[in-house]
Amino acid sequence: MKISQAVGNACTVDASNVETQDSDRATNSKIIYLPGTNCEIKSQALLSAYTSYRVGGAAELYVAPRDVEGLQASLQYAKEHDLRVTTLGAGSNLLVSDRGISGLVIATRHLRYSHFDHQTGRITVAAGESIPSLAWEAAKHGWQGLEWAVGIPGSVGGAVVMNAGAHNSCIADILVSAQVLSPDGTIETLTPEELGYTYRTSLLQGSDRVVTQATLQLQPGFDPAFVTATTRQHKQHRLSTQPYNFPSCGSVFRNPKPYAAGWLIEQSGLKGYQIGGAQVANLHANFIVNRGGAKANDIFSLIRHIQQEVQERWSILLEPEVKMLGEFQAA
């Protein structure tokens, strides 16, 4: 079993007891029920419904556990059937191939809970929780430290894996620890130092471990109205400088210091450039938007075109921030 990146006792899955039924005879899709859990593994689930780009083919198998036990059972099923595992969070920093993904796709979007410890100022939050929603909730409590995250369209788990950030702040600045699940069902708690954080990445990228929850250190005791107003200002800034009127993945490329990727792309004359339904956004050149009817391969081809143009003009190879899953072929 291979895993690519996005407590209680492990549930043992007995393959001989797995029930299978046809849910759609026309597409030959099936549902596999994992005994002892509330998990349903679906076959041929279209991933365009689970990514912010609204593109991508089908997952060979797809499951969205609602608790850690279900997540452990899903990994056990993959292990017993020698399936490659791909983890999927909110799908906001992701480009899934039109050809889909083989193996088992495990979505953590339904791992939801949060606990505010008013004595320590720490939040313990599940991987599937929305980062923007958490930022608003912290503001209502009068806790500072997450205002910058209100415009990041992702989940806590994805933010921990990629060290999400904005406005000169990032997850590594406030993370106390992250709980991760290994393929063998064991759970570890890792510190930021053990996660090896650098700009927009961590040791979890490319790892076979899945984030289940995180503990964040915030600063309580402030006027909720003041923190909410600051959070709203960050949100308004994002809305005024970044395109939210069309589907996108957020920023496409990492900033190659001392330059900003968007500036390099704009200076290369690529604002508004379009391949199929994919377009370099006019509002912010480090965004590629789905203008309608785009294919994943349109977006992929546009990414490659941008890289070529910027490299020819500036001798800089832009590194994608968006994670690409599946097989692609440039136009």
Q: How far apart are CA 17 and CA 155, in angstroms?
A: 34
3-state secondary structure of 57: coil
Q: How far apart are CA 131 and CA 157, in angstroms?
A: 9
Choose among 66, 5, 11: nearest CA to 211: 5
Q: Which two tokens stand for residue 59?
A: 């997952």
Q: Are 66 and 303 in contact (CB under 8 A)?
A: no
Q: Which two tokens stand for residue 281?
A: 């956004």
Q: How far apart are CA 209 and CA 219, in angstroms?
A: 30
Q: Are 43 and 61 in contact (CB under 8 A)?
A: yes
40 is catalytic: no
Q: How far apart are CA 32 and CA 18, in angstroms?
A: 7
209 is catalytic: no
19 forms beta bridges with 33
DSSP symbol at 271 = T
> Of these residues, 48, 251, 268, 301, which one is catalytic?
251
Amino acid at 274: Q
> Of these residues, 200, 232, 254, 291, which one is catalytic?
200
Choose among 131, 328, 276: nearest CA to 320: 328
Q: How far apart are CA 11 and CA 182, in angstroms?
A: 14
84 is catalytic: no
The length of the chain, given as a count of residues:
331
Q: Are 199 and 163 in contact (CB under 8 A)?
A: yes
Q: Residue 75: CB partners within 8 Å, gap ≥ 6?
A: 1, 85, 106, 181, 183, 185, 210
Catalytic residue list:
200, 251, 321
